[in-house]
Amino acid sequence: MISDDGLYSEAVLEECVVEKLAIIPDHTKIVVCNSEFKSLAEVPEILHVRYHPITVLPTFNCMIEIFNKRWQTLDLISMMQELKRSTAIDSLSFMYNLRSRFDHRDRYIAIKDSLSTLPTFQKKEEKHSL
């Protein structure tokens, strides 16, 4: 939770996240949050997916569904683009029900990356010992 005191402020959280991610510079990292975290742009090999706070449940439900269905066939960026398309549709109906003033799809999901490759998930064979 983000609070007004300095201990749990968004700035402190951003600093901690960037510091931890900088430790693993050569590996793909994904950050999914409702904060812009501008300093994430300084971290190499990162995919930052930002969602509108009011759409947290549709966003994460949809993300899990996409990961489960598409991890073998799509790269990570394509999955997040599918998330953006899917969540925009779900969010529009969700927002309409709340009579919100949001009216543009790109406001629900924003995707930024500094990836040098298109990361994919790989299936690993489990070794069973007898």
- Tens of pLDDT, residue by residue over 80-105, are 999 988 876 655 555 555 544 444 44
What 8-state DSSP symbol labels residue 90? H
For CA atoms 24, 27, 30, 35, the dihedral sign is positive
Structure tokens at 45: 């090999």
Give the pLDDT score at 3: 53
pLDDT band at residue 69, thresholds of 50, 70 and 90? very high
Beta pairing, strands 46-51 & 29-33: parallel
Q: What mean pLDDT, rounded, does the chain reach?
A: 81
Q: What is the dihedral of CA 49, 50, 54, 55, to 10 degrees?
A: -20
Terminal CA-to-CA distance of the chain, rounded, Å? 46
Threshold 0.85, pTM exceeds: no
Q: How far apart are CA 22 and CA 14, in angstroms?
A: 12
Give the pLDDT score at 67: 94
Let me know how long the chain is: 130
**% residues pLDDT > 70 (the chain):** 78
Helix, strand, or coil (residue 31): strand
Structure tokens at 17: 């996240």
Of the candidates 65, 41, 122, 6, the residue with the CA atom closest to the CA atom of residue 31: 41
